[in-house]
Amino acid sequence: MGARGARAFTPIGYRSLKSVVDTPADTSADRPADGPAGGAPPQVGWWQAVLVYREPKVLAMLFLGFSAGLPFMLVFSTLSAWLRSEGIERTAIGMLSWVGLIFSLKFFWAPVIDRLALPLLTAWLGRRRSWMLVAQIGIAVALAQLAGSDPSSGSLLPIAAVALLLAFSSATQDIALDAWRIESAPVAQQGAMAAGYQLGYRVAIMVGSAGALWIAAEAGWQAAYLTMAALAGIGIVTTLVVSEPVHSAPRVSVEQEQRAMAFIASRPHWPRMLREAGAWFTGAVVCPFMDFFARYGAKLAVLILVLVGTYRLTDFTMGVMANPFYLDVGYTLKEIAAVAKFFAAFATVLGVLAAGVLVAKLGALRSLALGLALTVVSNLAFMILALLPDPGAVALALVVSGDNIAMAVAGTALMAYLSSLTSPAYTATQYALFSSLYALPGKLLMGFSGAFVDRFGYPLFFIYTSLLSVPALIMIVWLWRVAPRGLGWRHGMHARAAPRESEGQEQAARP
């Protein structure tokens, strides 16, 4: 009865892993190797690494990154400026900012986006682009609704509801867009894909903040938000133009999920509703966790998670004290705006572009190590700035520019590395979890930054933040020694880019 029941049971609304992939279940999960089979991958020249930016999908990421960044400021600081200009109390404005928690909770519905097919749209556009399009339409509608809102009417509930829709649509776009980016290009190009995304994102940040404020000053807030709603069409057009990536799944992932489904199906005495819920939860939530540990093994998986959780500790703990530091040293608000912000924007663009080339040339692990090394140097530069009696604006510009280049290189390298960790079977779910993991420890630790400065002062604080990068550096060195060569983390564009399917393959691939 168990085996027969297992074959006969098909949960309503559940899409098995085999039904959402395009390649046969017995194919490898490995993204195609760019180099020849066997032997060391060929060397990548710097010019060849730069040419990665000519790839059409890398160029598409500029526009998709713009689409992802556009709603961010419009639901936070720009909306706050509008509300304050209408006389809304600061307490109410602060409470409205809680809608931003949606972005930190997106991993809860990422499994749905990984599995749920949208009627008609999925058949037309595919699994990723259908969700991207729905989310982008939601963004455009929400911005148009905000344009028609009246904060002075007495109730903020309608605005809060629309802001919640905007944040939810934006977070949903992030999930689907991250999955599209990862599945559309090999790991070697993920640095350039991440760079294109971040460049477009930062342009959108400027448009959604300074651009919207300028339009509001000239033509009113309604015109500003209607213009932003129209600009949301950039993402819609790009989604319709780009192609849907081919969906594949490693054999181990398919077989693992089939065993889990067979276990649920072999329990006919359970209520059908419970079995259906169990099938959904197991396939969409439990299996992504099991898949990660099955592909990498427990030891390597734990090392990877420790690296992910510690990599941005320095950025978070130092970043929260940056503006207080500028003011405490004696810089004016105008100097901070002109130097720390203006130069930071150009330095960040330079760092992002350089990071895309570095990942293509050096590979994931060396790019991660370089990003951390630059981060340590930039924090020590802040320590020197804190010790100078009269640092001046030039010193601030140099230090801030170096820090933003370091953050851009580290952030882009980490984005590319996280992309390499996901399985094509669970791209959206696993990337959402990884991106939440890398931010959580730093956000918890940065709450103590002010207390550290009050007790020990800025010079020791910057030494402390520099030392926070040491655990991640140790993890990188450790991974360099123990990770299988077949993962492709040591090399550039021609590296093999996916994990092994079994422990035996891992042992065979080790040096």
pLDDT digits (tens, 9 = 90+) for 288-311: 888 888 888 888 989 999 999 999
- Residue spans of beta strands (DSSP E) within 117-257: none
Predicted pLDDT of residue 499: 39
Task: Check: CB of residue 489 under 8 Å from CB of residue 483.
Answer: yes
Dihedral pair phi/psi, residue 309, rounded to 5°: -70, -20
Residue numbers of the chain with a pLDDT score lower than 50: 1-14, 23-41, 493-511
Predicted pLDDT of residue 13: 46
Task: Check: CB of residue 169 under 8 Å from CB of residue 105.
Answer: no
What class is the 46-241 domain? mainly alpha
The position carrying tokens 């039904």 is: 19
What class is the 286-509 domain? mainly alpha
Element (H, E) at 366: helix 364-387
Task: Check: CB of residue 161 under 8 Å from CB of residue 93.
Answer: no
Encode pLDDT of 417-430 as tens digits: 888 888 877 888 88
Predicted pLDDT of residue 85: 84
Residue 431 CA to residue 446 CA, distance in Å, equals 23
Of the candidates 237, 233, 288, the one whose C-alpha atom is nearest the C-alpha of residue 108 is 288
Residue 302 CA to residue 295 CA, distance in Å, equals 12
- Any idea how long the chain is? 511
Predicted pLDDT of residue 466: 95
Q: Where in the chain is the domain with CATH 1.20.1250.20?
A: 46-241, 286-509
Predicted pLDDT of residue 283: 66
Task: Check: CB of residue 171 under 8 Å from CB of residue 106.
Answer: yes
Residue 72 CA to residue 69 CA, distance in Å, equals 6
Helices and strands, counts by H and E, the chain: 29, 0
Residue 314 CA to residue 109 CA, distance in Å, equals 29
Question: Helix, strand, coil % (nearest 5) of the chain?
Answer: 80, 0, 20
CB atoms within 10 A of CB 388: 10
For residue 185, what are its two tokens? 């290009």
Of the candidates 418, 441, 417, 416, the one whose C-alpha atom is nearest the C-alpha of residue 430 is 418
Task: Check: CB of residue 253 under 8 Å from CB of residue 291.
Answer: yes
